[in-house]
């Protein structure tokens, strides 16, 4: 059985997919695996991601100490994980609410789903009926047992929202990512059945998305909803979670403090209870320069995650000069720098020839030093080495390799053919912290005759406006699930995925995703994925992919056991396995 499991897991790695329980039996309990850790390195535009970390010392365990981290800002939306994917929330939310859902991304390899709140699962041959057996030793931070009814309540709230006395709570922003779910049923013996409306072999990968955190305890949220408080948030009920650290206090604009959850269920490979730390202090530092000063003066153990706070090449040189061997860098493939169109709003950009012309005109290489701080890559590269990831399924197009001058000639021809040889004006929703990228696009497109009118907005307005139809175009920076099927949340139709970059209602896109989910052979899956990419990025050009970031976060070398994901900085923000080496 062990040999069979090893072979199946190897096969899953080769396909960059997660094994289901019918493929490889899930262990009865979760143990902390050896965590990948980026070691001190010199600046590199295309680093090699993630190397193994040493295990904690033997004995009673490396317990104690408080980890001090920067956080990019105050968590928005009342810490509500159903309302925002902001890293300002999820950097903190991993510790309070946990690293996963029923399953989680494995700490040793994020491309495989590991047991988390569920110990085992079964799936029927049609991949439409999934049954999960929950752990029986999980309690909310207030001591209330976590049950199948909590799971049923969470899915109902995420999928359907809530309505009472004419007041309406909208479904979760990630509703589209969950796919077609017919029903969720709490079963005897602490089991949950999830019945899908269509086949999905990759449902575990969806659930392992770290943004889908259980932050809504039924026993606290439901009474408030029934009383008519449809906007109730996790903060309103005391931030009661299931994670390795329990909420202590929050001083808005200053600090969030969490402490060790003595009832947490995970253990390490030596059966020692986790987490190791006594607690974590998240210091809210909005400005990257202020974070740099605090870190370099010894007041922080780690930097914030989030674009803007991730280091640039120039800032990393300052860290190296001041700290030398006392700093190492967590390096992760990050968000994609894109231009996306709202084709549901009238304007010249409704013509696919215009959108294609804009795509051909943009100088992608120029975006890396200007918009991404010097760490990044673009077509035709496939990114930094990653021993876990099958580059055949990379979530990135590899077309438009012609020289820029040739592409721009074709762009001018398409503009003339579409009747816009003299250009036009187009609004551009721009997140304030990403203004350099907006200015780069504005300068480049001016030469094509497109007057890009930048609408600069703060974080609060960004979280609202990006899901609206109020803009002509916007940037897309969000990370996506690291499998083709997981991109529907950012490339799919607006009615299904309001958080998608481009706003469209193209049924052909939905059909491509249906074919992806139904593909049974890797060859067919890859064929559909390539067709979908060409349709979205070339034939229709709903989205213009420009460049991919490499995110670099600093940590002190006395921080050990840190799990650094090779991509998606929202992953492994629970810090369950972190321990602090005594400093001389």
Burial tier of 380 (Cβ tally within 10 Å: 0-12, 13-18, 19+): exposed
On the question of pLDDT at 4 being above 80, the answer is: no
**Residue 32, pLDDT score:** 31
Instruction: Find, among 284, 291, 356, 279, the residue nearest to 318 by Cα.
Output: 291
Q: At which residue do the structure tokens 């609408």 appear?
A: 455
Residue 189 CA, distance from chain mean position: 32
**Interatomic CA distance for residues 292 and 163, integer angstroms:** 46
**Residue 577, pLDDT score:** 96
Helix (H) or strand (E) run with residue 528 in it: helix 522-534
**Interatomic CA distance for residues 457 and 445, integer angstroms:** 21
The DSSP-derived string for 380-449 is T---S--TT--GGG-SS-----S-HHHHHHHHHHHHHHTT-TT-EEEEEEEEGGGHHHHHHHHHHHHTTT
**Residue 477, pLDDT score:** 61
Instruction: Find, among 20, 74, 35, 43, the residue nearest to 369 by Cα.
Output: 43
Paired residues of 163 in beta bridges: 168
Instruction: Find, among 83, 265, 78, 101, the residue nearest to 194 by Cα.
Output: 101
In contact, 35 and 577? CB cutoff 8 Å: yes
On the question of pLDDT at 15 being above 80, the answer is: no
Least confident range from 171-180, 307-316, 477-486: namely 477-486
**Residue 38, pLDDT score:** 29
pLDDT band at 57 (very low <50, low <70, confident <90, very high): low
Structural domains in the chain, CATH included, are 334-549 (3.10.105.10)
**Interatomic CA distance for residues 115 and 380, integer angstroms:** 36
**pLDDT tens-digit map of 155-165:** 999 999 999 99
User: Alpha-carbon Rg of the chain, whole angstroms?
Assistant: 23
CA distance readout (Å), 497 to 58, 165, 178, 490, 542: 48, 27, 10, 7, 14
**Residue 464, pLDDT score:** 81
**pLDDT tens-digit map of 493-509:** 998 888 888 999 999 99
Paired residues of 573 in beta bridges: none
**Residue 177, pLDDT score:** 83
Paired residues of 260 in beta bridges: 245
On the question of pLDDT at 463 being above 90, the answer is: no
Q: Report the percentage of the chain scoring pLDDT > 90.
A: 66
**Interatomic CA distance for residues 46 and 66, integer angstroms:** 33
In contact, 9 and 112? CB cutoff 8 Å: yes
**Residue 41: Cβ within 10 Å count:** 15
Overall average pLDDT of the 275-296 stretch: 97
**Residue 90, pLDDT score:** 96
Overall average pLDDT of the 35-59 stretch: 41
3-class DSSP state for residue 231?
Answer: coil
**Residue 565, pLDDT score:** 92
Q: Report the percentage of the chain scoring pLDDT > 70.
A: 87
On the question of pLDDT at 193 being above 90, the answer is: yes
- pTM (two decimals): 0.81
**Residue 183: Cβ within 10 Å count:** 13
Q: Torsion angle, CA of 177/180/182/186, rounded to 10 degrees?
A: -30
pLDDT band at 191 (very low <50, low <70, confident <90, very high): very high
Instruction: Find, among 387, 335, 279, 306, the residue nearest to 52 by Cα.
Output: 387
**Residue 293, pLDDT score:** 97
**Residue 105: Cβ within 10 Å count:** 27
On the question of pLDDT at 31 being above 60, the answer is: no
Instruction: Find, among 280, 287, 237, the residue nearest to 261 by Cα.
Output: 280
On the question of pLDDT at 291 being above 60, the answer is: yes
pLDDT band at 322 (very low <50, low <70, confident <90, very high): very high
**Interatomic CA distance for residues 111 and 103, integer angstroms:** 12
Paired residues of 129 in beta bridges: 195
**pLDDT tens-digit map of 368-422:** 998 888 998 887 776 777 777 766 666 555 678 889 999 999 999 999 999 999 9
**Residue 59, pLDDT score:** 60
């Amino acid at each position: 059985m062990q040999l069979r499991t090893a072979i199946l897991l190897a096969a899953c790695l080769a396909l960059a997919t997660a094994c289901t329980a019918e493929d490889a039996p899930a262990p009865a309990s979760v143990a902390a695996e050896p965590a990948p850790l980026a070691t001190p390195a010199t600046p590199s535009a295309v680093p090699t991601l993630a190397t193994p970390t040493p295990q904690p010392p033997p004995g009673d365990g490396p317990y104690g100490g408080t980890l001090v981290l920067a956080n990019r800002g105050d968590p928005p939306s009342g810490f509500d994980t159903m309302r925002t994917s902001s890293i300002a929330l999820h950097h903190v939310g991993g510790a309070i609410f946990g690293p996963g859902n029923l399953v989680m991304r494995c700490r040793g390899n994020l491309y495989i789903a590991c047991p988390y709140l569920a110990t085992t699962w079964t799936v029927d041959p049609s991949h439409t009926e999934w049954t999960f057996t929950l752990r029986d030793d999980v309690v909310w931070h207030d001591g209330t047992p976590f049950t199948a009814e909590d799971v049923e309540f969470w899915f109902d709230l995420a999928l359907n929202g809530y309505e009472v006395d004419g007041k309406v709570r909208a479904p979760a922003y990630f509703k589209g990512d969950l796919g077609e779910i017919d029903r969720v049923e709490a079963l005897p013996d602490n089991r949950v059945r999830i019945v899908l409306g269509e086949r999905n072999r990759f449902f575990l990968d969806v659930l392992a998305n770290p943004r889908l955190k259980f932050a809504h305890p039924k026993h606290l949220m439901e009474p408030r909803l029934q009383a008519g408080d449809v906007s109730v948030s996790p903060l309103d009920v005391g931030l009661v979670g299931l994670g390795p650290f329990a909420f202590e206090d929050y001083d808005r604009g200053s600090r969030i403090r969490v402490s060790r959850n003595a009832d947490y269920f995970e253990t390490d490979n030596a059966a020692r209870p986790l987490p190791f730390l006594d607690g974590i202090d998240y210091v809210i530092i909005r400005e990257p320069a202020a974070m740099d000063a605090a870190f370099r003066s010894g007041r922080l153990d780690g930097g914030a995650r989030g674009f803007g706070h991730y280091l640039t090449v120039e800032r990393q040189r300052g860290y190296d000069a001041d700290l030398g061997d006392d700093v190492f860098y967590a390096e992760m493939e990050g968000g994609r720098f894109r231009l996306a169109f709202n084709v549901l709003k009238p304007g010249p950009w409704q013509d696919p020839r215009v959108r294609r012309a804009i795509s051909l005109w943009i100088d992608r290489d120029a975006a890396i030093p200007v918009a991404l701080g010097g760490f990044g890559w673009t077509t035709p590269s496939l990114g930094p080495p990653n021993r876990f990831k099958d580059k055949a399924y990379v979530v990135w197009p590899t077309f438009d390799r012609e020289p820029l001058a040739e592409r721009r000639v074709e762009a001018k021809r398409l503009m003339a053919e579409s009747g816009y040889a003299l250009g036009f004006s187009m609004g551009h929703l721009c997140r304030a912290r990403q203004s350099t990228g907006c200015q780069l696009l504005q300068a480049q497109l001016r030469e094509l005759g497109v007057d890009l009118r930048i609408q600069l907005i703060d974080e609060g307005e960004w979280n609202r406006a990006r899901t609206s139809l109020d803009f002509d175009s916007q940037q897309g920076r969000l990370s996506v699930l690291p499998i083709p099927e997981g991109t529907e949340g950012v490339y799919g139709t607006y009615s299904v995925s309001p958080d998608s970059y481009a706003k469209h209602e193209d049924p052909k896109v939905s059909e491509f995703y249906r074919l992806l989910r139904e593909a049974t052979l890797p060859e067919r899956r890859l064929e559909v994925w390539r067709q979908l990419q060409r349709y979205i990025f070339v034939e229709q050009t709903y989205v213009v992919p420009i460049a991919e970031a490499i995110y670099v976060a600093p940590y002190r070398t006395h921080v050990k056991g840190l799990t650094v994901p090779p991509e998606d900085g929202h992953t492994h923000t629970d810090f369950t396995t972190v321990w602090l080496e005594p400093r001389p």
